[in-house]
């Protein structure tokens, strides 16, 4: 009954995810009121005077519950509940000029960084206009919304995810907020959907005998030879009949399967050079096919890797020690301001930048970068970063002037850290010159 009542409020269309959030808050608030444990004034965030619609909606919902359960509620309970109605997008907030500006700037800067024109995507613009005002409200009022897909999004769409975070970090001071992983992941969904609508990325289906469990090796190898914006889905033979195969641009299989009207490329689970040749000859042109070559070609990254900021066989035992030591050198050589180091620590508090491959890709606020560079650290031993133990670090310092290079730098780095063979080559290097050569940057220093 209450769920239906929520859906019949005079509001814009909302997703079930937000309705579920409000329903959970509602149930908890009613339970507390039944036990005479009311919201205290200190728990109510002061944000805006323009909350009449939300407070009236909160009163209607709480009053409906009192008719059945016979309890009382306070003004603080109403204000608290109305805040959650705002945070969960139960009506479009009044549009502020700063919100319009942020949407416009975000579209322009992500377009530049990814080299994709989003300016004509009206659906994306509408999604951002609807999402950003409540997002700012949530962040200002410290009302955290969990995104159940954050970890998956960080892994599968790492390039888009990190580009958006780098772009938005410039506006944290102006908006007096701190973006977190969950909010960036929500925005990544919108942009990734726009990329798919534009058919900029292609979808690949990998068919294995037992599905996901036996396909990890093949999936990882294929990821290393396809463009960063392409997506991969894995299925077992039994799952094929439940999939819409028309949505896939390429089907790769380790076993013989007969799919009518579809070309299937049969490969070994180890993806040999012969298999890669088959993929190329099928008409699908992976942009990073050169990565089977032991000499790494990363033309975007190598422009910003300098000898002065390549560290080999260091003995750091924590990310804090690494940030302070390298941060001081960056400050002394006038590459960043002191606030850049602070922004590194701040970014890590919002979510670790470490990866399962034993690498980390931290980055700070571009506002505090005077000259773009990428610091490369190869530590003697692995140390605990956040979730994982790390021995290779790419510390990214991108200035606002080099926004156009963001995609290239991040794409090159993720191509490196996703390739176990390349990481093995980097880990066995014992000299700075050898590491620079492997990174194709020997001429830089």
For residue 155, give the CATH number of its domain. Answer: 1.10.1790.10
Looking at the domain assignment, is residue 104 inside a domain? yes
pLDDT-derived band at 5, boundaries 50, 70, 90? very low
Looking at the domain assignment, is residue 108 inside a domain? yes
Higher pLDDT, 218 or 126: 126
pLDDT-derived band at 164, boundaries 50, 70, 90? very high
Residues 370-383, mean pLDDT to the nearest whole number: 96
Same domain membership, residue 192 and residue 114: yes
Q: Taking 90 as the threshold, does the pLDDT of residue 10 lie above it?
A: no
Looking at the domain assignment, is residue 92 inside a domain? no
SS3 233: strand
Q: What is the pLDDT of residue 13?
A: 42
Same domain membership, residue 213 and residue 175: no
Distance separating alpha carbons of residues 138 and 87, to the nearest angstrom: 5
Contacts within 8 Å (CB) and 24+ apart, 37-45: 38/73, 38/74, 38/76, 38/77, 39/74, 39/76, 39/77, 39/79, 39/80, 40/76, 41/76, 43/76, 43/80, 44/76, 44/79, 44/80, 44/83, 45/83, 45/140, 45/141, 45/142, 45/143
Q: Half-sphere exposure (CA, 13 Å, Cβ side) for 183?
A: 25
Looking at the domain assignment, is residue 166 inside a domain? yes
Q: Which residue has the tokens 């970014």?
A: 347
Domain finish residue from 40, 62, 87: 87
> Residue 266 contacts by C-beta under 8 Å, 6 or more apart in sequence?
253, 254, 255, 256, 278
Top-confidence range, 77-81, 99-103, 366-370: 366-370
Domain finish residue from 139, 169, 197: 197
Q: What is the pLDDT of residues 263-303, one digit of tens each?
A: 889 888 777 888 888 887 776 654 443 333 333 456 788 88
Same domain membership, residue 255 and residue 142: no
Q: Are 296 and 439 in contact (CB under 8 A)?
A: yes
Q: What is the pLDDT of residues 389-434, one digit of tens each?
A: 999 999 999 998 888 888 788 888 888 887 888 899 999 998 999 9
Interior angle at CA 135, CA 131 and CA 140, nearest 5: 160
Q: What is the pLDDT of residues 26-76, one digit of tens each?
A: 888 888 888 888 888 655 555 455 566 677 777 878 877 887 788 888 888
Q: What is the pLDDT of residue 11?
A: 42
Copy the structure tokens of residue 412.
């090159």
Q: Are 158 and 191 in contact (CB under 8 A)?
A: no
Same domain membership, residue 440 and residue 305: yes
Q: What is the pLDDT of residue 73?
A: 84
Top-confidence range, 11-25, 82-96, 308-322: 308-322
Same domain membership, residue 43 and residue 129: no
Q: What is the CA radius of gyration of the chain?
A: 25
Same domain membership, residue 416 and residue 314: yes
Q: How many helices (H) and strands (E) does the chain have?
A: 18, 9
At what angle are helices 16-34 and 52-69 packed, to 10 degrees?
A: 50
Q: What is the pLDDT of residue 295?
A: 39
Output the domain CATH number for residue 219. Answer: 3.40.50
pTM above 0.75, yes or no: no
Q: Are 47 and 141 in contact (CB under 8 A)?
A: yes
Q: Taking 90 as the threshold, does the pLDDT of residue 220 lie above it?
A: no
> Roughly how many angstroms between the first and final C-alpha of the chain, as a whole number?
69
Burial class of residue 429, CB neighbours in 10 A (0-12, 13-18, 19+): middle
Residues 205-232, mean pLDDT to the nearest whole number: 68
Same domain membership, residue 360 and residue 304: yes
Tally of residues, the chain? 445
Q: Taking 90 as the threshold, does the pLDDT of residue 374 lie above it?
A: yes
Q: What is the pLDDT of residue 217?
A: 67
Q: What is the pLDDT of residue 242?
A: 84
Domain finish residue from 230, 258, 283: 283
DSSP code at position 45: P
> Listing from the earlier edge strand, what are the strands of the sheet with 354-355?
310-314, 373-384, 389-397, 359-360, 354-355
pLDDT-derived band at 321, boundaries 50, 70, 90? very high
Count of domains forming the chain: 4
Same domain membership, residue 312 and residue 410: yes
Q: What is the pLDDT of residue 12?
A: 45
Q: What is the pLDDT of residue 337?
A: 96
Looking at the domain assignment, is residue 288 inside a domain? no
Q: Taking 60 as the threshold, does the pLDDT of residue 213 lie above it?
A: no
The conformational region for residue 360 under phi > 0 = left, psi -120 to 50 = alpha, else beta, is beta
Copy the structure tokens of residue 132.
């950003």
DSSP line for 146-174: --TTHHHHHHHTHHHHHHHHHHHGGGHHH
Same domain membership, residue 430 and residue 310: yes
Output the domain CATH number for residue 438. Answer: 3.40.930.10
Same domain membership, residue 276 and residue 317: no
Looking at the domain assignment, is residue 289 inside a domain? no
Average pLDDT of the chain is 81
Residues 374-393, mean pLDDT to the nearest whole number: 96
Backbone angles phi, psi at 368, to 5 degrees: -95, 10
Same domain membership, residue 311 and residue 416: yes
The beta strands (E) that lie in 175-288 are given as 203-208, 231-236, 250-253, 264-266
Backbone angles phi, psi at 444, to 5 degrees: -80, -15
Query: Which secondary structure element, helix H or strand E, spans residue 382, and what is its range?
Result: strand 373-384
Distance separating alpha carbons of residues 309 and 334, to the nearest angstrom: 13
Percent of the chain with pLDDT over 70: 82
pLDDT-derived band at 335, boundaries 50, 70, 90? very high
Q: Which domain holds residue 342?
A: 299-444
Distance separating alpha carbons of residues 208 and 218, to the nearest angstrom: 9
Q: Are 169 and 403 in contact (CB under 8 A)?
A: no
Looking at the domain assignment, is residue 107 inside a domain? yes
Q: Are 166 and 340 in contact (CB under 8 A)?
A: no
Same domain membership, residue 139 and residue 244: no
Looking at the domain assignment, is residue 291 inside a domain? no
């Amino acid at each position: 009954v209450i769920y239906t009542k929520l859906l019949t409020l005079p509001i814009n269309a909302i997703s079930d995810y937000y309705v579920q959030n409000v329903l959970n808050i509602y149930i908890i608030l009613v339970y507390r009121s039944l036990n005479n444990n009311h919201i205290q004034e200190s728990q109510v965030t002061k944000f805006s005077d323009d909350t009449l619609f939300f407070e009236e909606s909160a009163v209607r919902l709480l009053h409906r519950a009192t008719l059945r359960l016979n309890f009382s509620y306070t003004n603080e309970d109403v204000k608290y509940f109305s805040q959650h109605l705002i945070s969960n997008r139960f009506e479009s907030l009044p549009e502020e000029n700063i919100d319009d500006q942020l949407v416009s700037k975000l579209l322009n800067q992500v377009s530049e960084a990814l080299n994709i024109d989003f300016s004509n995507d009206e659906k994306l613009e509408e999604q951002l206009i609807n999402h950003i005002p409540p997002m700012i409200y949530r962040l200002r009022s410290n009302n955290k919304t969990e995104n159940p897909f954050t970890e998956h999004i960080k892994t599968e769409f790492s390039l888009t995810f990190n580009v958006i975070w780098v772009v938005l970090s410039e506006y944290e001071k102006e908006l007096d907020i701190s973006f977190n992983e969950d909010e960036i992941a929500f925005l990544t969904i919108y942009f990734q959907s726009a990329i798919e609508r534009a058919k900029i990325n292609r979808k690949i289906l990998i068919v294995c005998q037992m599905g996901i469990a036996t396909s990890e090796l093949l999936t990882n190898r294929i990821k290393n030879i396809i463009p960063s914006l392409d997506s991969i889905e894995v299925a077992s033979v039994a799952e094929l009949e439940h999939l819409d195969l028309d949505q896939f641009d390429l089907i790769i299989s380790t076993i013989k399967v007969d799919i009518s009207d579809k070309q299937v490329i049969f490969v070994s689970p180890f993806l040999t050079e012969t298999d890669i040749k088959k993929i190329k000859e099928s008409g699908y042109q992976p942009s990073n096919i050169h990565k089977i070559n032991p000499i790494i070609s990363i033309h975007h990254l190598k422009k910003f890797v300098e000898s002065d900021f390549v560290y080999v066989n260091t003995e750091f035992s924590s990310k804090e020690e690494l940030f302070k030591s390298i941060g001081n050198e960056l400050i002394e050589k006038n590459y960043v301001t002191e606030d850049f180091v602070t922004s590194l620590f701040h970014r890590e508090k919002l979510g670790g930048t470490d990866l399962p491959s034993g690498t980390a890709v931290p980055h700070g606020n571009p506002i505090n970068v005077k000259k773009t560079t990428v610091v490369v650290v190869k530590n003697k031993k692995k140390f605990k970063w956040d979730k994982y133990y790390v021995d290779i670090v790419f510390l990214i310092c991108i200035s606002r002037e080099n926004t156009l290079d963001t995609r290239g730098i991040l794409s090159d780095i993720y191509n490196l850290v996703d390739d176990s063979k390349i990481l093995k080559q980097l880990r066995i290097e014992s000299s700075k010159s050898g590491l620079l050569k492997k990174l194709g940057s020997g001429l830089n220093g």
